[in-house]
Chains A and B, each alone.
Chain A
Amino acid sequence: MTMNDELASLGNCTLHDDDCITCSDAGIPVQVISIDGGDALCEDAAGNRTDIAVELVAPVHSGEILLTHGGVAIGRVKTEKLTADS
Chain B
Amino acid sequence: MTPAASEVENAAAAARVQPDEATAGEAEHARRLLTEMLRIRRLEERCADLYKQEKIRGFLHLYIGEEAVAVGVMQALEPEDAIVATYREHGHALVRGVSARTIMAEMYGKQEGCSGGRGGSMHLFDTATRFFGGNAIVAGGLPLAIGLALADRLQHRARVTACFFGDGAVAEGAFHETLNLAALWHLPVLFCCENNLYAMGTAIERAQAETDLALKAAAYRMPSWGIDGMDVEAVESAARRAAAAVRAGEGPHFLELRTYRFRAHSMFDPELYRDKREVDAWKQRDPISTYTVRLRERGVLDDARLATIEESVGREVDDAVAFAEAGTWESVETLTRYVYSEPAPDSGDAT
Partners in one complex: no
> Which residues of A are in contact with B by a Cβ distance under 8 Å?
none
- B residues whose Cβ falls under 8 Å from a Cβ of A: none
